[in-house]
Amino acid sequence: MVRDELFKLYEIVMADLRFHVEMEHKKALLVTGLIAAVAFVTLAGVQKFEPNSGMLPLLTGPVMIMIFAEIGAKITSASAKRSLEAMTIKIKLDHALGVAIRPYSSDGSLLWSDESYLPSDYTAQYAVARDKLARSSDWIKDQLYGGMNKNYQFLFNMYKLSGFILFGFILVRAFYPTLFTIAK
């Protein structure tokens, strides 16, 4: 490929990468908002109803929280995978354009000999992981549950756990109403 075509492709890939990272964040925010709304309505229902007056329909709230958390985990993983696919293309283009090699000054001496044109944390994070794997698809699988996606997976697992705890709380409150009463 001609260098100008590589630069054009680089621009397209960078726009694609930014798009997928933004979409991952937006999807996580959407699902988190849905979970918060369901949790709010469920907790309001638990406070409003008397323990013996049909609290069992409120169990749909925690179940919905757990379902939304699972959906959130899956869609953020899919977005993260797409971001990593774009990242592999970007990394290959970095090498093709020569920006992943060590830079030299005009007198031929090596500048920042421990770094390439790319920041050293970039090199440390991706190059080391890349070198131990034979294929870019292996690198994607290796990186998929790291970084921001790791945080999202933890967040959605905590939502699932809170849904499970809320489910148990509603059951206990429905069948043992005196357990949560305060003596007057």
SS3 126: helix
Per residue in 13-48, pLDDT (tens digit) is: 888 888 888 988 999 999 999 999 999 999 888 888
- Mean pLDDT of all residues in 55-81: 91
SS3 112: coil
* Local confidence band at 160 (pLDDT 50, 70, 90 cut-offs): very high
- Is 53 exposed, middle or buried (CB count within 10 Å of its CB: 0-12, 13-18, 19+)? exposed
Query: Residue 14, class by beta-carbon neighbours within 10 Å (0-12 exposed, 13-18 middle, 19+ buried)?
Result: middle
Nearest to 162, CA basis, from 18, 8, 2, 35: 35
- C-alpha 162/C-alpha 181 separation (Å) is 22
pLDDT at 55: 74
Q: With a cut of 60, say whether residue 181 has pLDDT above it.
A: yes
Give the global pTM.
0.73
